Amino acid sequence: MNSDWKDFPNKAAIQLNDTHPAIAAIEFLRILIDEEKLAWTDAWKIMHDTFSYTNHTVLPEALEKWKVDLITHLLPRHMEIIYLINHLFMESIAKKYPGDYDRMKQLSLIEEGGSKKVRMANL
């Protein structure tokens, strides 16, 4: 791995203070994977160590949900990455809470139903 990227979290910190900028973490992953050709695990660690998130309210109207169809149309690669993150996260939840499908449904990045949505605060 490029040592410059490995050291990036020691040189930069990105604080997200609301749900809508959460897509920035996905864009950063996309750049690291698709443009810089880093492996998923390396890119994930760099992103995880660089980004922090705070939301100052838990009111439902402040916790944005973006339609999967919209993201897929505008940012298809980002949606692929979101699905991969959700898949890996759901695998870890299934191991920790075997058979607890209600918990998985509540924690998923993707809200199922009539129109699938990405829970940006969960992202």
95-120 pLDDT, tens digit per residue, is: 999 999 999 999 999 999 889 999 99
User: In this predicted structure, what is the pLDDT of residue 4?
Assistant: 85
Q: CB–CB of 6/44 below 8 Å?
A: no
pLDDT category of residue 3 using cuts at 50, 70 and 90: low
Q: CB–CB of 115/109 below 8 Å?
A: no
User: In this predicted structure, what is the pLDDT of residue 86?
Assistant: 98
> Average pLDDT of 6-20?
92
Q: List the single range of 2-6, 19-23, 36-40, 43-47 with lowest mean pLDDT.
A: 2-6
User: In this predicted structure, what is the pLDDT of residue 63?
Assistant: 83
pLDDT, tens digit, for every residue of 53-68? 988 777 777 788 999 9
Tokens for 34, please give them.
């698709």
Q: List the single range of 12-21, 37-46, 50-59, 74-83 with lowest mean pLDDT.
A: 50-59
Q: CB within 8 A of 81, min separation 6: which ones?
A: 26, 29, 30, 33
Q: pTM of the entire structure?
A: 0.91
Q: CB–CB of 86/93 below 8 Å?
A: no
